[in-house]
Structure 1
């Protein structure tokens, strides 16, 4: 059974952009993160709320 609180509204995802690059984000369901390929950052989603702070983002390593 899927936890509905961890899901993000798809309409919200369409509106969100990376705060650093202002670029598009992609949703990575397995890690429950929003990914900015351009900035190489992964923004966490906690309790269904995207945490759009650069200081909270995880750096994506090669």
Structure 2
């Protein structure tokens, strides 16, 4: 018995593949600055996670369409 597997390559819409933004590209200049940046990093990571959740939802929707 031979089983044939067909792979279908699907790509999420470009809108979902936009790279996450990095809020800071330089190290903090003083100790307290790192503390002040924490809320900005948290917000950026939350937005990135939402983007990943949208990609996961898109994949789930595509699988449900089959």
- The bucket for the TM-score relative to the shorter chain is under 0.3
Higher share of residues assigned strand: 1
TM-score, normalization by structure 1: 0.21
TM-score, normalization by structure 2: 0.20
- Choose between structure 1 and 2 for higher RCO, CA contacts under 8 A separated by at least 6 residues: 2
Higher share of residues assigned helix: 2
Structure with bigger gyration radius = 2
